[in-house]
């Protein structure tokens, strides 16, 4: 799995214009109505991967007391701050803040296409493999739990549950992937 991911992401770079890159993707036309490009907030997440063959993904359950996205499952990440040189710096900084991950333990594999959320962020996913000896510890101010899910489980369509909801009068489709309650 590791070699397939490294090959697929070889020579990728963060998008020069993340909004344009996200809009060029598969964002449904009806969802585009929700996007106010001038107010989108740049953000980045780290997709931390562990293991070469039976690869696992590290995820977090956001703290239940947070004002935004409380209790949601997420990758470590957040908005780009002034001190961040770009999405990579933001993703590594946020991973260190949220789960105590030392940036030196991350081998960057590459970048995925930016994604626009219905809550107003344009998120650049940064994919990285964690080196042996890494440790993670949840910052309980931001994260209630840090856990791993096998990549095989996430990629298996039998585990995907399609959901629909309305957001600001526009129907939006999303998927849930259930994992050990």
Nearest Cα neighbor of 164 from 176, 148, 151 is: 176
Token pair of 63, please?
């703290």
The per-residue pLDDT for 99 is 98
Task: Work out the average pLDDT over 145-173.
Answer: 91
The domains of the chain are located at: 2-28+38-151
The per-residue pLDDT for 133 is 94
Q: Is 28 a residue whose pLDDT tops 70?
A: no
The per-residue pLDDT for 165 is 87
φ/ψ of 163, rounded to 5, equals: -125, 155
8 Å CB contact between 99 and 138: yes
The per-residue pLDDT for 22 is 82
C-alpha distances (whole Å) from 86 to each of 39, 110, 127, 150 are 18, 14, 14, 29
Rounded (to 5) percent helix, strand, coil in the chain: 25, 35, 40
Between 69 and 85, name the one with better pLDDT. 85
Reported as a single tens digit per residue, the pLDDT across 32-76 is 666 666 688 999 999 999 998 899 999 999 999 998 889 999 999
Q: Can you give the pTM of this predicted structure?
A: 0.91
Q: Give the integer Cα–Cα distance in Å for 21 and 18.
A: 5
Q: Is 30 a residue whose pLDDT tops 60?
A: no
Q: Classify 2-28+38-151 by CATH class.
A: alpha beta
Q: Give the integer Cα–Cα distance in Å for 48 and 72.
A: 17
Nearest Cα neighbor of 78 from 142, 139, 31, 24 is: 142
Q: Give the integer Cα–Cα distance in Å for 126 and 13.
A: 9
Element (H, E) at 29: helix 29-32
């Amino acid at each position: 799995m590791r070699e397939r991911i490294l090959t697929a992401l070889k020579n990728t770079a963060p998008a020069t214009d993340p909004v344009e890159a996200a809009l060029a993707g598969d964002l449904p036309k009806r969802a585009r109505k929700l996007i106010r490009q001038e107010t989108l907030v740049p953000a980045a997440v780290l997709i931390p991967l562990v293991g070469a063959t039976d690869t696992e993904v590290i995820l977090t359950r956001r703290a239940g007391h947070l004002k935004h996205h409380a209790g949601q499952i997420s990758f470590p990440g957040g908005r780009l701050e002034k001190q961040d040189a770009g999405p990579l710096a933001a993703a590594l900084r946020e991973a260190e803040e949220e789960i105590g991950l030392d940036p030196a333990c991350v081998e960057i594999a590459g970048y995925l296409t930016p994604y626009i959320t219905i809550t107003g962020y344009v998120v650049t996913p940064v994919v990285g493999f964690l080196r042996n000896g890494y440790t993670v510890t949840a910052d309980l101010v931001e994260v209630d739990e840090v856990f791993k899910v096998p990549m095989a489980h996430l990629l298996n369509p039998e585990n995907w549950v399609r959901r629909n909801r309305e957001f600001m009068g526009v129907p939006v489709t999303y998927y849930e992937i259930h994992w050990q309650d």
